[in-house]
Amino acid sequence: MSENADSMQTRHFLLRRLHSLTGIVPIGVFLIVHLTTNSTIAWGGLNTRAQSEGFGWMDRAIATFQHEVEFINNMPLLLLIEITLWAALGFHSVLGVYYAISGKSNTGAYKYSSNFRYALQRITGYFGIFFIFYHVATLRWGWTWLVPGGTKWSHEAASSTFAAAIQGSTDGFTPVGFLVACFYFLGVSALVFHFANGLWTAAITWGITISRPAQKRWGVICAGLGAGLMLMAWMSVIGFATLDYEQASRVEQILHGEQIHLNDEPN
């Protein structure tokens, strides 16, 4: 084999396997952490340590989420972690699209569930890229012109500003805001599927699952993980889409130790 063919072969193998690996580490691991954090808006009420005077279930959830966001914001080398994630996402996306367009789906003729998952893996990939771009651009890079209502997300008022961004205003749903919330719902669903199914195929790619029963067993585990993540993803989106801006804002102010004057509060 010529040297050129050799390096081509090595490069091809490396790129393919790195594509598979980056989907799990760091992207998949981050997805799990991210959804766990975000879903605190739905279950953070369980967190009794977030208790403060007069706090109800939702207040504790808002406080828990705020605490988590600040913890992440205070992590050392945060920018490095972010850049690693963006690079991994960019790499996985570009190669993923390149690989996806090399295939030609045929679910019309061959209606097998695995064939539908093959097609869905690619569709959710395309849609996921679009969603992640919007998500990061609006909330991290501050492209507020893409946010209905123009709310700029702030880590100091994490729940309230995100609720406003996903609802379209600080005063509940606007029609466009509702579309954004639906977009979020579809986006997170697509990405959770993409991760769970990718985890299943990665085990075949790396040669971890070989026999059909092994692939089936691993499939059950991936489906279970996917169902759990899907639940957290939906809880997150629904939690923020139904969050009351005023209430969230009030809790955040308390957490920042600011004096609040309930009587003076504008309605």
Partner 1 sequence: MSEAEAYSYDAEMRKANRAKAVAGRSVIFKIKRCDGPGKPARWESFKVPIEEGANVISSLNWIAANPVTIEGKKTTPVVWESNCLEEVCGACTMVINGRVRQSCSCLINEYAPCEGDVMTLEPMSKFPVIRDLWVDRARLFNNLTRVKAWVPIDGTYNMGPGPKESHDHQQMRYALSECMSCGCCLDACPQFIKEEDESKWDSSFIGAHAISQARYFNEHETGKQLKADRMDALSGAGGINDCGNAQNCVKVCPKGIPLTESIGAIGRSATIHAIKQFFQGKK
Which parts of this chain interact with partner 1 (CB under 8 A)?
Answer: 1, 5-6, 8-10, 12-13, 16-17, 99, 102-106, 108-110, 112, 114-115, 117-119, 121, 201, 204-212, 214-215
Q: How far is the CB of 214 from partner 1 (least distance, A)?
A: 8
Question: What is the dihedral sign for C-alpha 180, 81, 122, 142?
Answer: positive
In angstroms, what is the minimal distance from the CB of 196 to partner 1?
13
* Minimum distance from residue 212 beta carbon to partner 1 (Å): 6
Nearer to partner 1, 112 or 145 (CB): 112
* Angle in degrees, CA 184, 89, 239, rounded to 5: 25
Percentages of the chain per state (helix, strand, coil), in multiples of 5: 75, 0, 25
Contacting residues for 226 by C-beta, under 8 A, at least 6 apart: 192, 193, 195, 196, 197
CB of 200 to partner 1, least distance (A): 8
Residue 172 three-state SS: strand
* Phi, psi of 51, rounded to the nearest 5 degrees: -70, 140
